[in-house]
Amino acid sequence: MKMKYILASGSPRRKELLEFIISDYSCITANVDETCPTDIEPQNRPEYLALLKAREVAKNYKEDVVIGADTAVFSGQKMLGKPKNEKEAFNMLKSLSGKTHSVITGCAVVFGDRHISFSCKTDVEFFSLSDREINNYISSKEPMDKAGAYGIQGLGSLLVKGINGDYFNVVGLPVSLLNKKLKEFLD
Could you read off the pLDDT of 97-122 as tens digits, one per residue? 999 999 999 999 999 999 999 999 99
pLDDT in tens, the chain (187 residues): 578 999 999 899 999 999 999 999 999 999 898 888 889 999 999 999 999 999 999 999 999 999 999 999 999 889 998 999 999 999 999 999 999 999 999 999 999 999 999 999 999 999 999 999 999 999 999 999 899 999 999 999 999 999 999 999 999 999 999 999 999 999 8
User: Quick check: is 70 catalytic?
Assistant: yes
pLDDT for position 1? 58
Q: Is 128 left (phi over 0), alpha (psi -120 to 50) or beta?
A: beta
Sign of CA dihedral 154, 158, 159, 164: positive
Distance from chain centroid for Cα 22: 18
Q: What is the largest CA-CA distance in the chain?
A: 57
CATH 3.90.950.10 for domain 5-186, yes or no, is yes
CA–CA gap between residue 16 and residue 64 (Å, rounded): 20
pTM of the model: 0.93
Q: Which of 24, 33, 70, 123 is catalytic?
A: 70
